[in-house]
Amino acid sequence: MSLSYILRRLLGAVPLLLGISLILFTIIHLAPGGPLDMYLDNPAVSREALDQIAARYGLDQPLPIQYLLWLKSMLVGDWGYSIRTSRPVIVEILGRVGPTLQLGGAALLLSLLIAIPLGTLSAARRGTALDSTVTLASFVGISTPVFWMALLLQLFFSVYLGWLPSAGYQTIGDGSLMDRLLHMIMPVVILSLATIASWSRFIRSGMVDVLNQDYIRTAYAKGRGEKGVMVFHALRNALIPAVTVIAVDFGTVISGAVITETVFAWPGMGRLFMESMDGRDYPMLMGLMMLGSVGIILANIFADLTYAALDPRIRYG
């Protein structure tokens, strides 16, 4: 693994991003509606006024021109202005990155801490009641709709018990660490459920494959105890396929969790995306999705580097 390899990968990402931006731009314009739709019910907003607003944001230009204009300003670091708020896209995004990273980071950490032991244990005790329980729980976790689970938690912990705030980022006028942690509990748990479920499945199946290998038998034959075999011989090898999935999930954190953030009124990127989508705020959407794409590309590069770290046979030159 060399610096030049990383550099080459980063350079390769440039044409990739260009392609992505073109596809994204096409897709968001294929979606029905437009940013001026919100004025449709108001007869006092005249056709002229609408035309003026359209001209101001370049919406009157043909789509290819609109794309080129967007690309041109993006290349010099100008992300454009939000149609909904008239504020610079970059300013809007920067205001949302913190809460999103906080929520996503905490959820990923929690997921790692639970999914790895759970998957390992499940594989080691394959076929037992414990394995079946974990498997069943994973499938329930993967299949449960996030908004429904969130609603159940809100009803139980906020309405019935009254222990946790049902939504929001902080209490007005409080904002202490404790207050923020209390607000984080439910969204983090909800966001983690699906990742814990899917990651533990990947780790379990990776482990099951590895446990049948000769070198595991050899390790046992050498007299190594079960814990040692599991952690140092099996898990390290089993992680390689799981790393791809985990890394991509890390990458998506930057785009925010649309449903969780909406349900819990969390002021992050996912919710900004939702609001921008509703208002067909094209510059905002492009900015958010490009940032998300960068996140995923970086996560993929990171995954490849992690393979090399985990498996000495993999070398990049």
Partner 1 sequence: MTFKLTRRAALQGMLAGGSLLATMRAFPAMAQAVGGTLRIGLTYEIDTMNPYSTGFLGDAQAAVLEGLLAPNSEAVYVPVLATEVPTIENGGIMLSADGTKMDITYKLREGVTWSDGTPFTSADVAYTWEAVKNPTFVAESKDGSQDIDSIETPDPLTVICHYNTVKPNFASTLFTFGIMPKHIIENTDLNTSAFNETPIGTGPYVVKEFVRGQYVVMDRNPTYWAKAENGDALPYIERLVFHMLPDTNTLITQLQSGELDMVVQVPYSRASQVEGIDRVEIVRGPLLSWQHLDFNFRVPSLADINVRKAIAHGINREVMIRAQGGYPQAIKSLVVPVFDLYNPDTPEYPYDPALANKLLDDAGYVRGGDGIREKDGVRMSYQFMVQAGRADDENAQQVIIALLKQIGIEATANNQTGVAYREARYKGGYDLIYGRWITSADPVYSTFYGTGGENNGQGYSNPTLDAAFTKMENSLDPAVRKDAAFEMQRIIAEDIPAIALISNVAVIAKVKTLKNFVPNPTNMTNFVDTKAWYIES
Binding site for partner 1 (CB under 8 A): 32-34, 36-47, 49-50, 52-53, 56, 84-87, 92, 95-96, 147, 151, 154-155, 158-159, 162, 165-170, 172-173, 262-265, 267-268, 271-272, 274-275, 279-280
Q: Which is nearer to partner 1, 147 or 232 (CB)?
A: 147
Question: In angstroms, what is the minimal distance from the CB of 147 to partner 1?
Answer: 7
Q: Which is nearer to partner 1, 165 or 287 (CB)?
A: 165
The structure tokens 């096409």 sit at: 26
Confirm if 147 and 263 have CB atoms less than 8 A apart: yes
Cβ neighbours, 10 Å, residue 280: 21
Question: In angstroms, what is the minimal distance from the CB of 21 to partner 1?
Answer: 22
Question: In angstroms, what is the minimal distance from the CB of 256 to partner 1?
Answer: 11
Question: In angstroms, what is the minimal distance from the CB of 150 to partner 1?
Answer: 8
127: CB partners within 8 A, 6+ apart: none
Q: 3-state DSSP call for residue 173?
A: coil
Single out the residue of 197, 194, 195, 200 nearest to residue 122, CA to CA: 200
Question: In angstroms, what is the minimal distance from the CB of 250 to partner 1?
Answer: 24
Q: At what angle do helices 269-278 and 89-124 cross, to 10 degrees?
A: 120
Distance CA 84, CA 287 (A): 14
143: CB partners within 8 A, 6+ apart: none
Q: Which is nearer to partner 1, 53 or 308 (CB)?
A: 53
Q: Which is nearer to partner 1, 21 or 262 (CB)?
A: 262
Q: Which is nearer to partner 1, 44 or 75 (CB)?
A: 44
